[in-house]
Structure 1
Amino acid sequence: MKHARVVYNGSIHHAIEKKGNMQLNDGQIVKENEVIWLPPVGPRTVFTLGLNYVDHAKELDFNVPKEPLVFLKGPNTFTGHLSKTYRPSDVSFMHYECELAVVIGDTARNVRKEEAYDYVAGYTVANDYVMRDYLENYYRPNLRAKNRDACTPLGPWLVDAQDISDPMNLTLRTYVNGAVTQEGTTADMILGVPELIEYLTSFMTLSAGDIILTGTPKGSVDTKVGDEVVTEIEGIGRLVNTIIGEDTLTKTK
């Protein structure tokens, strides 16, 4: 089943997909274009993987890390489907990152990889924009590069784990203004979903609602103001986002 969080007539609703429309938790049936999309999960602790695809590490001229390169994202960074993300006026390279987002469904501590999927509630799509000008170096991903407001669209749907037969064999694609600019497969992750859950729970407790962004394959292209960026993962959904200028953001406050 596919789940969403939306705003309809000024109220926040949970919803499910219903024959091409949406059924709100109060029973109303509405069209997808009649709502404002929120991230399908209210983010708690969010872990982001850097350089978890060999081809992407090579694309950026980095060595493949010997252990996971993990950093955290604040809840302010997330926005929903059909939202807008602003490009800071002082950056020269801002690129998308199409990522499989894993949503934890139960308290997890010292989980073996063979049992890791038992702790997954479902999956969604993340577009984790990076302002590469702000990255200091390989060892310390800069806070400014990954934690700007509304720089990470998430959604549209949270797809139940049991509806994805093999999360480690999904095609990822990104389109900029309708043209394919990135294509890869989750099969090429350095550490897959089970290994990441095993690694993180070996030293800390994960809770229901925590999210793991699992990295992105090669295909980093600079995005400009006005670009429509679609990040798509097979079986999970198409997440649409538009780039706006910083001056536009200022005017709309």
Structure 2
Amino acid sequence: MKLIRYGAEGAEKPAMLDDAGLLRDLSAHIADITGDTLDDATLAKLRALDPADLPIVEGEQRIAPCVGNIGKFLCIGLNYSDHAAETGAAIPEHPILFFKANSAIVGAYDDVVMPRGSTKTDWEVELGVVIGKTAKYVSKADALDHVAGYCIVNDVSERHYQTQLTGQWTKGKSCDTFGPTGPWLVTRDEIADPQNLDMALDVNGKRMQTGNTATMIFTVAEIIEHLSSLMTLHPGDVITTGTPPGVGLGMKPEPLFLKKGDVMDLTIQGLGHQQQKVDQDA
């Protein structure tokens, strides 16, 4: 099942995508797609609906972030062996954790706006994991039972802020619009193996990133096991799990970064497509 939120910011409505690619409104069945509606029982009720009985969403609509009222936005860094190699970083012994401010979250087709003076804004296609059931001290074997579904996340990063403004990575990860999320929340029953998903990112039509979640250092299950040993994961929390090689920072002979007017296109197998145009604060 592919769940989607549509509408203007602050007035989003829930929908599902039918087999013909039409949006079907779910407002008569749930108020929104949030942690309150991502439990297995509610998802089972939605799955049992006949999409043909749901109203078609007419007209062009803004595609909103696929989860509303996200609790924690947790991010794993340097989690692809081939990405670590391109940046010259050592393989981490444990998952590297940083947070992204919730104010960074935007829809899959909303603009990405670089902060004033930014010259090192970078792209990162990532698999997003949406928690559907409270997780505390869960084992790797049980971890995926706590997942509601998966989505695409663009972990946009300002590398100067990330590495040269005294502090932690969060500074370079949390700028407004730096967390496009969606377009769909694809429920876990549709993703047979989250560790075998092709992923790609283009800038201005040129392929920059090509990868597969098989090269993750820590699997989705291992990440959930680790994080749930540190903190309780709640329904509606989102974990973004690292990026494959091809980021601008790793380009040779010189790094390559985004500029105003650039267009990013992101895909992950089974999870749809994102596109963002790049703008810059004056």
TM-score norm. by structure 1 comes to: 0.91
Structure 2 CA distance for aligned equivalents of residues 159 and 185 of structure 1: 18
1:128 equivalent to 2:155? Answer yes
1:41 equivalent to 2:67? Answer yes
SS at match of 2:189: helix
What does residue 31 of structure 2 align with? none
| Letter aligned with residue 276 of structure 2 | N
1:94 equivalent to 2:121? Answer yes
Q: From the superposition, tell whether residues 61 and 92 of structure 1 become closer, same or farther in structure 2 (CA, over 3 Å).
A: farther
SS at match of 1:144: helix
Say if 2:9 and 2:64, in contact at 8 Å, map to a contact too. no
- 2:273 aligned to 215, 238, 242, which one? 238
Structure 2 CA distance for aligned equivalents of residues 76 and 204 of structure 1: 21
Q: Output the aligned Cα RMSD.
A: 1.9
How many residue pairs match? The answer is: 245
Structure 2 CA distance for aligned equivalents of residues 209 and 106 of structure 1: 9
* Displacement of 1:121: 0.3
Say if 1:8 and 1:34, in contact at 8 Å, map to a contact too. no
Q: From the superposition, tell whether residues 58 and 140 of structure 1 become closer, same or farther in structure 2 (CA, over 3 Å).
A: farther
What does residue 23 of structure 2 align with? 22
1:54 equivalent to 2:89? Answer no
Q: From the superposition, tell whether residues 203 and 88 of structure 1 become closer, same or farther in structure 2 (CA, over 3 Å).
A: closer
Deviation sequence 1:138-188 (CA, Å, 0-9, x none) = x96333201111111000000010000111000010011222110000000
What does residue 142 of structure 2 align with? 115
Structure 2 CA distance for aligned equivalents of residues 141 and 61 of structure 1: 19
* Displacement of 1:24: 1.2
- Equivalent residues in 2 for 1:70-89 (5 A)? 70-89=97-116
Structure 2 CA distance for aligned equivalents of residues 2 and 164 of structure 1: 11
SS at match of 1:209: coil
What does residue 251 of structure 1 align with? none
Identity %: 38
Q: From the superposition, tell whether residues 142 and 203 of structure 1 become closer, same or farther in structure 2 (CA, over 3 Å).
A: closer
What does residue 171 of structure 1 align with? 198
Say if 2:98 and 2:169, in contact at 8 Å, map to a contact too. no
| Letter aligned with residue 94 of structure 2 | E
Deviation sequence 1:15-48 (CA, Å, 0-9, x none) = 10022120112443125x6111111112111110
Structure 2 CA distance for aligned equivalents of residues 183 and 226 of structure 1: 23
Structure 1 CA distance for aligned equivalents of residues 135 and 76 of structure 2: 19
- Equivalent residues in 2 for 1:194-209 (5 A)? 194-209=221-236
Say if 2:203 and 2:263, in contact at 8 Å, map to a contact too. yes
SS at match of 1:121: strand
Structure 1 consecutive aligned stretches of length 4 or more whose deviation exceeds 4 Å = none
TM-score norm. by structure 2 comes to: 0.82
Structure 1 CA distance for aligned equivalents of residues 138 and 171 of structure 2: 32
1:227 equivalent to 2:227? Answer no
Structure 1 CA distance for aligned equivalents of residues 125 and 114 of structure 2: 17
1:13 equivalent to 2:13? Answer yes
Moved more, 9-18 or 203-212: 9-18
1:4 equivalent to 2:31? Answer no
Say if 1:80 and 1:154, in contact at 8 Å, map to a contact too. yes
Q: From the superposition, tell whether residues 94 and 16 of structure 1 become closer, same or farther in structure 2 (CA, over 3 Å).
A: same
Structure 1 CA distance for aligned equivalents of residues 151 and 134 of structure 2: 19
What does residue 218 of structure 1 align with? 245
Moved more, 172-181 or 186-195: 172-181
Question: Where does the alignment leave 5 or more consecutive residues of structure 2 unmatched?
Answer: 28-53, 249-256
